[in-house]
Amino acid sequence: MTTDKEDNIGIRTESEVAGDTSTADLLIEIRKMCSELISKTEQVKKNQKDNLQDLEELDEISEKLQSIQSLISRRLESNEEAEKLSKDSKKEPIDKPPVPNNATFSVSSEKTFKLKYVFKNVHKFKENKNKCSEWDDHFNSNWYMSARRSNGHLGLFVVCHPIARKGKWSIQAKLEFKVVGPNQNAVIKTGEDCYEKIRGLGFTEFLEWEKIKEEYLVDGNLTVEAKVTIIETNRLGREKIRKFDESQKDVSDVILVVKDTKFYVSKMFLASQSSAFKTLMSGNFPKSEPSEVKLNGIDPDDFHYFLEVLYGEYAIDEANVEDIARLADMYDAPTAMRRCEEFLLYLSRKRLEKKLEMATRYHMEKLEEQCRRRMTPVAPKKNPLRTLMCL
């Protein structure tokens, strides 16, 4: 026997059954729709993945195409360059000598320097009394300026005193004087003359005396500059040690001509001492007779001493060390430059300022270090006993 409770649970009416059927259909429809959405979503994802893959493949293909294009471009450029070189080689053979026989080589090697001095209390200058600056050592000579009041004018001069000279000497020079006023107003005068004895060359009437006092003095002082350019020298320096004349013809294979002087030397040896000579001597010179190479812009005596140093002679002294260093710098001869530096380091009595000037100009590092160390003031050491006494 069943109870009412069981009847209520186990038996359903038609309306209830109809309602349950509608809900099931709806759930089935929703499930179907969800399945379709899920399927479409998966398809979209798949399409997106395919698209991304397609894009990656396109990028990879593009990169390969660019690489191939770059390779083709480089190959074309290489072919064009090779073709150009081939044409150039047909025009100019590789074994063409870069230095022809009887060649001429010019270099800019002016011996130029400046003197500068401040003359004090110019308004107190006495008539025809010279006032002199300190001297400077340049190119085998000592140089200084002198000023003089004479006949209502200021006279300015440069005095030359050769360090080493032989017999009748001479120095052809160009002089440029410059007086600077307080407002940077300047008067410049230029002239050329020849020193044949120890004397001053310049202008006896450089400027009116009254104009000097009114326009160019600063606290009674006058600033004067002089630029000196040595054009030619004759019979300066010591006696020569080694010969490079025609007596050396049998052991030479090239002739270097400096002005009217011929130097018979060895190409191989000079090339080993100087990169400039190595380039100069790299041509295929004729073997029948020594070729001549003319060197312009240098002094024969300076070049002789320079060659002596290259050939191992002890040829450097106070008078020629600057000239030899200048040529060593011009022709890139490290051995000659090192010997000049060693002379200045250990033997020379030149002023410290002059040594520093040469060290800076010719890149002598050891000499520059020595000069700057000596020019740096050293602080005095404290006396410990004095400190105790003060306490």
What confidence category does residue 3 fall into, taking pLDDT thresholds of 50, 70 and 90? Answer: very low
Distance CA 65, CA 138 (A): 70
354-385 confidence digits (pLDDT tens): 999 999 999 999 999 999 999 876 555 555 54
143 within 8 A of 135, measured Cβ to Cβ: yes
- Give yes or no for residue 20 having a pLDDT over 60: no
Record the tokens describing residue 170, joined without a space. Answer: 């001479």
Considering the entire predicted model, what is its pTM? 0.62
Q: Where are the domains of the chain?
A: 111-233, 246-374
Give the whole-angstrom CA distance, residue 349 versus residue 191. Answer: 33
Structure tokens at 100: 């022809």
Residue 340 has pLDDT above 80, yes or no: yes
**Strand bridging mode 200-208 / 222-236:** unpaired
- H helices of the chain, where? 4-10, 14-91, 209-215, 267-273, 275-280, 300-310, 321-330, 334-346, 352-361, 365-375, 384-390
pLDDT reading at 389 higher than 50? no
Question: Cα-Cα-Cα-Cα dihedral of 124, 127, 130, 132, to 10°?
Answer: 20
pLDDT digits (tens, 9 = 90+) for 63-107: 544 554 554 454 445 455 445 444 444 444 434 344 445 555 545
pLDDT at position 166 is 75
Q: Please identify which residue in the block is written with the tokens 């200058």.
A: 125
First to last CA, the chain: 129
Token pair of 99, please? 């230095």
**What is the per-residue burial (b if ≥16 Cβ within 10 Å, else e) of 51-62?**
eeeeeeeeeeee
Per cent of the chain over pLDDT 90 is 51
Give dist(CA 323, CA 305) in Å, integer.
9
Q: Indicate the average pLDDT of the chain.
A: 78
* Residue that wins the pLDDT comparison between 32 and 331: 331
Q: Is 377 helix (H, G, I), strand (E, B) or coil?
A: coil
Kindly tell me if the per-residue pLDDT of 345 is higher than 70. Answer: yes
CB 224 within 8 Å of CB 187: no
What is the bridge-based pairing of β-strands 186-195 and 200-208? unpaired
Assign 16 a pLDDT band (cuts: 50, 70, 90): very low
**Matching CATH topology for 111-233 and 246-374?**
no
Q: Is the distance from CB of 263 to CB of 277 less than 8 angstroms?
A: no
pLDDT at 199: 87
Cα(332)–Cα(329) distance, integer angstroms: 5
Q: Tokens in use for 314?
A: 């002890």
CA distance readout (Å), 307 to 159, 171, 242, 311: 30, 22, 9, 6
Decide which of 21 and 248 is more confident. 248
Residue 111 banded pLDDT, cuts 50, 70, 90: confident
Lowest mean pLDDT among 40-54, 150-164, 215-229, 312-326: 40-54
Helix, strand, coil percentages (3-state) for the chain, rounded to 5, are: 45, 25, 30
pLDDT of residue 24: 54
In the prediction, which pLDDT does 232 show?
87
CB 263 within 8 A of CB 307: yes
Mean pLDDT on 125-145: 92
In this structure, whether the domain defined by 111-233 belongs to CATH 2.60.210.10 is answered with yes
**Residue 178 pLDDT:** 95
Name the amino acid, one letter, at 46: K
CA distance 87 to 92: 9
Ranking 17-26, 127-136, 150-159, 334-343 by mean pLDDT, the lowest is 17-26
Write out pLDDT tens, residues 218-230: 999 999 999 999 9
Instruction: Kindly state the average pLDDT of the residues 169-176.
Output: 93
Amino acid 376: pLDDT: 77
pLDDT band at residue 48 under the 50/70/90 scheme: low
Q: What is the pLDDT of residue 177?
A: 96
Query: What's the whole-number mean pLDDT along residues 208-224?
Result: 93
Q: Which CATH code fits 246-374?
A: 3.30.710.10
- 252-307 per-position pLDDT tens digit: 999 999 988 999 999 999 999 999 999 888 765 555 566 889 998 899 999 999 99
